[in-house]
Amino acid sequence: MPPALDEVHLHHLRELCARPAMIDDEGLRLGGTYVMFFAESALMAEHAAALLGDQHRAHVLEIGLGLGVFAQQIAPLRPARYTAVEPHPAVVDLVVPRIREHLPCPVVVVVEPWQVLDLEPESIDAIMYDTWPPDGHADADFASFVERVAIPVLRPGGRFSFFHSGTELPEARVEVLDHFFPGWSATKVTIPANQLPSGWTKPTGDFLVPCARKGVQ
């Protein structure tokens, strides 16, 4: 059985789920905070291409639904199955109908935090990870996710990517990637300043698109 969430994560989850979800012309807000923007479509297209570009009929897992922009970007790549993990019920209610309209494959939505996932081993070809962890827990959660979820559920040769704002990965994440994956890369992507919305909350328009591949035994 997956472990239960600790009190820090339970409190954080309760606080996030208490925030009303709203989509406007710029993006998705939880309460007064934007968490994803339509302007990130090109960025998510780069993630989609890195993960699925030459994979045929991939089984895709997305951790953190956001606006569903990543899901829309994988649609032309014809995935065989798409599973989203999103613990905020209101986000699911807003976004999943839009995803079902775009994706030409079965859509499964798990309305739980990723920490309690119990997925079939080696059942996934591509993982996109983009969460809102408690303050101070981002790198620890990342390491835990890779070890407990990504590596067990990815098929040999399967790929893993994650959202990263900025032009350098933290040393802690580099160490995790080096330890668990035989090879990985990170491509720079910039959203032009004139395309950033007025409510932009990220520290920069510069991003990295990492892509790590699970070893083949």
Q: Is residue 117 within 8 Å of 2, Cβ to Cβ?
A: yes
According to the model, what pLDDT value does residue 53 have? 87
Q: Is residue 190 within 8 Å of 206, Cβ to Cβ?
A: yes
Alpha-carbon distance 123 to 149, whole Å? 11
Q: Is residue 85 within 8 Å of 114, Cβ to Cβ?
A: yes
According to the model, what pLDDT value does residue 1 have? 39
Residues 6+ apart with CB under 8 A from 106: 81, 82
According to the model, what pLDDT value does residue 196 have? 95
According to the model, what pLDDT value does residue 23 have? 97
What is the CATH topology of the domain spanning 7-211? Rossmann fold (3.40.50)
Strands 81-85 and 107-110: parallel
According to the model, what pLDDT value does residue 217 have? 62
Instruction: Specify the 3-state DSSP secondary structure of 16.
Output: helix
> Between the CA of residue 150 and those of 125, 146, 206, 213, what are the distances in Å?
10, 5, 26, 10
Q: Is residue 58 within 8 Å of 79, Cβ to Cβ?
A: yes
Q: Is residue 183 within 8 Å of 212, Cβ to Cβ?
A: yes
According to the model, what pLDDT value does residue 13 have? 96
Q: Is residue 170 within 8 Å of 142, Cβ to Cβ?
A: no
pLDDT averaged over consecutive 10-residue blocks of the chain (217 residues)?
A: 77 96 96 95 97 92 96 96 97 96 94 94 98 96 97 97 96 98 96 94 94 89
According to the model, what pLDDT value does residue 3 have? 56
Report the predicted TM-score, pTM, of the whole model to 2 decimal places. 0.96
Alpha carbons within 13 angstroms on the beta-carbon side of residue 23 total: 15
pLDDT digits (tens, 9 = 90+) for 103-137: 999 999 999 999 999 999 999 999 999 999 999 99
Instruction: Specify the 3-state DSSP secondary structure of 135.
Output: coil
